[in-house]
Structure 1
Amino acid sequence: MLDQLFMYLSFPFVRYALIVGVLIALCSSLLGVTLVLKRYSFIGDGLSHVAFGSLAIATVLNVTNKMLIVLPLTIAFAILILRKGKNAKIKGDAAIAMLSVGALAFGYMIMNLFPSSSNVAGDVCSTLFGSTSILTLTQEDVWISGILSIIVIGIFILFYNRIFAVTFDEDFANAVGTKANAYNLLIATVIAVIIVLAMNLVGSLLISALVIFPALSAMSILKSFRSVTIFSAISSTICALLGILISILAGTPVGSTIVTVDVILFGICYLIGKIRG
């Protein structure tokens, strides 16, 4: 098995997949803790469906670089959800549910009305649950993912204290001069970027798992925000690495394999937390 693994690692596309997978998992885990604590977990799910609808539009229009359409639309809807969610007649959770189902249905409809290939069902399935496209990444894709990941990590480190304050007590943060709404929008924008990056890795339906499970695993056994964030980041990257390697060796779907490893880790952490009381 080791000989087979080293043989696969000699191919550039396998190394590209590992690099991008680890970077995306790291970025997802950093903001995942904040989303879980702020009870914004479903924002990731809603935005992933918006990304699917945007991808369907880009596919129908035959846009070469689909990120030019998918990324701006996903960011715009992320900002719209947070700006209007609290004050609108339709509250945040209902708005996200409507947006999620509507975008999913819209994307599937236009892909059927204007098919770009003869296998529409296969295209939709691979977009929703991930596909082998993570194993066909080019060097340009790796550079784009790397640059966006560095920006996300840099933003998290630079604004760590403010994100921490907004996560736990928005009212107090506002009282001491921190613009909570602005940082909520920053968090939503960064999450939108992460979701767009993660679509090739795990598919639009499984992105929420990549964001939520590492955070929940860490929170099962640790208490402080910093320790939870660090553990979440480390465990998420390890799970992504193991998931991709298992997928390559066993021939299983990449996204589903990564999420399965995350679920197993959560189960272990949950049991440890119960035993420790």
Structure 2
Amino acid sequence: MEILTADFFLSALTGGLLIGLTAPLIGIFLVLRRLSMIGDTLAHVTIAGVALGLLINIYPIGVGLAFAVAASFAIEKLRKAYKGYAELSIAIIMSGGVALASLFFTLGMGYNTDVNSYLFGSIYTLDQVDLYVVGAITVIVIVAISLLFKEFFLLTFEEDAASVSGLPVKFLNMLITVLTALVISTAIKIVGALLVSALLTIPAATSLLLARSFKQSVVFSVVISEIAVVVGLVIAGIWNLAPGATIVLFLIAMLILTIIGKRGLSA
């Protein structure tokens, strides 16, 4: 139990709670817009940036963040080019991210261990710089959603109506994608690139089964995410398990219990 009061665990808890707040805030909009796979795409691109950062000895998360933001702009450009096939832009960018990551892995075979920590998460290694970056992005996401909540709501459910009403639809679409890139690029060190989309989608999926309104679903998704982060980290700390995997598995358990509970009530 001493691990729960250790400095590295408290840093991990702080970083986890911050990502547990921002990921579902963005994720609920992505899920409702049927863009859930964008999380995996940007995660793969971020890993390519991380690999390059390790290769040239520059702050990996910073390079990964730059790659993710650039990819978010590319996704929006391709979505406009293929309006009837929005998912095609996601597939193209994911392919490019995987290809670049593979190339940089080949060039830097000596840092495979470091790359693995970003693939599977290394929340216990968060330092002050990481926490500052996560904290800054948390502020950006909260401010953006607070100021533009109504606009994002209309964009999510009636994009055509949002355009007719004079809202800057292109800017709002780009902003959501960029915010997603920022969240994912910082979250990969916490739960890993292979699991990061779970923080975006599973809390949203669970909240949609429970909520009676959009605002409720936003609140519930954040609460569910934070519970999973705290419980997952405590379980991982006590039994020496992989923290990222434990958080995601607990999220899945909460989703399954919610589905079973809903079926029981409706039976």
TM superposition score category, shorter chain reference: over 0.9
Give the match for residue 46 of structure 1. 41
Verify the 8 A CA contact 1:56 1:108 in the aligned structure 2.
Answer: no
Counterparts of 1:192-231 in structure 2, within 5 Å, are 192-231=181-220
- In the alignment, is the contact (CA less than 8 A) between 2:192 and 2:244 conserved in 1? yes
TM-superposed deviation, 1:193? 0.5
1:164 to 131, 143, 153: 153
Q: Segments of 4+ in structure 1 off by > 4 A?
A: none
Q: Per-residue deviation at 1:40?
A: 0.6
Query: Within 2, Cα distance between the matches of 1:83 and 1:71?
Result: 19
Distance 1:228 1:49 in 2: 28
- The answer to whether structure 1 residue 175 and structure 2 residue 164 are counterparts is yes
Partners of 1:138 and 1:54 in 2: CA distance: 19
Distance in 2, Cα, partners of 1:25 & 1:49: 20
In the alignment, which residue of structure 1 is the partner of 2:130? 141
Q: How big is the shift at 1:90?
A: 9.2
CA contact (8 A) 1:247 1:254 kept: yes
Please list, as runs of the form range in 1=range in 2, the aligned pairs for 1:111-126 lying within 5 A after superposition: 111-117=105-111, 120=112, 122-126=113-117
The residue type equivalent to 1:30 in the other structure is: L
Equivalent position amino acid for 2:178 in 1:
T
1:58 CA displacement? 1.0
Task: Give the TM-score, by structure 2 length.
Answer: 0.94
CA apart distance, 1:68? 3.0
Aligned to 2:31: 36
Task: Give the direction of change, closer, same or farther, for the CA distance of 1:110–1:242 in structure 2 (3 Å limit).
Answer: same
CA contact (8 A) 2:16 2:229 kept: yes
Deviates more, 1:175-184 or 1:257-266: 175-184
Residues 112-146 of structure 1 show CA distances to partners (whole Å, capped at 9, x for unaligned) of: 232233xx2x4443322213xx2122223222211
Q: Structure 2 matches for 1:1-277, cutoff 5 A?
A: 4=1, 7-63=2-58, 65-88=59-82, 91-117=85-111, 120=112, 122-131=113-122, 134-277=123-266
Q: Which amino acid aligns with 1:238?
A: I
Residue 38 and residue 90 in structure 1: after superposition, are their counterparts in 2 closer, same or farther (change >3 A)?
closer
Unaligned runs of 5+ in 2: none
Count, aligned residues: 266
SS state at 1:55 partner: helix
CA 1:124–1:70 in 2, change beyond 3 Å: closer, same or farther?
A: closer
CA RMSD in angstroms comes to 1.7
3-state SS of 1:86 partner: helix
Q: Which amino acid aligns with 1:200?
A: K
TM-aligned CA deviation for residue 89 of structure 1:
8.4
- Percent identity over the alignment is 32
Residues 24, 158 of structure 1: CA spacing in aligned structure 2 closer, same or farther, 3 A cutoff? Answer: same
AA aligned to 1:87 is A
Q: Which sections of structure 1, spanning at least 5 residues, go unmatched?
A: none
- Cα distance in 2 for partners of 1:186, 1:202 equals 24
Of residues 87-96 and 189-198 in structure 1, the stretch that sits farther from structure 2 once superposed is 87-96
Give how far 1:45 is off: 0.9
Q: Alpha carbons of 1:90 and 1:68: their partners in 2 closer, same or farther (altered >3 Å)? A: farther
Greater mean deviation of Cα atoms: 150-159 or 82-91: 82-91
Question: Does the 8 Å CA contact 1:59/1:66 hold for their aligned counterparts?
Answer: yes
Select between 198-207 and 67-76 the one with higher mean Cα deviation.
67-76
- TM-score w.r.t. length of structure 1: 0.90
